[in-house]
């Protein structure tokens, strides 16, 4: 019974993580951009412009270099 309760608790404890979804991605991207070195920031902006994006927060969640 104890292991069942622990299993249920652990399963339910991850639910709040799903609530962030797109907004959480945007917040993390904006914080990350604020901490880039100037050279890295320029390169990120160059790469984003190739995709028509202005910020890392504009990139869809889970998108990779291959577009998947």
- Please report which confidence band the pLDDT of residue 2 belongs to, taking 50, 70 and 90 as the band edges: confident
Residue of 36 and 19 predicted with greater confidence: 36
- The per-residue pLDDT for 49 is 95
Report how far residue 53's alpha carbon sits from residue 6's, in angstroms, rounded to the nearest whole number: 44
Looking at the predicted structure, is the pLDDT value of residue 18 above 90?
Answer: no
- The per-residue pLDDT for 6 is 77
pTM listed for this prediction: 0.60
Q: Token pair of 9, please?
A: 């608790």
- The per-residue pLDDT for 22 is 79
Report how far residue 38's alpha carbon sits from residue 55's, in angstroms, rounded to the nearest whole number: 15
């Amino acid at each position: 019974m104890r292991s069942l309760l622990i299993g249920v608790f652990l399963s339910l404890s991850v639910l709040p993580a799903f609530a962030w979804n797109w907004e959480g991605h945007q917040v993390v991207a904006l914080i990350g951009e604020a901490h880039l070195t100037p050279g890295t920031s320029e390169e990120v902006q160059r790469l984003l412009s190739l995709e028509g994006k202005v910020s890392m927060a504009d990139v869809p969640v889970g998108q990779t270099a291959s577009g998947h």
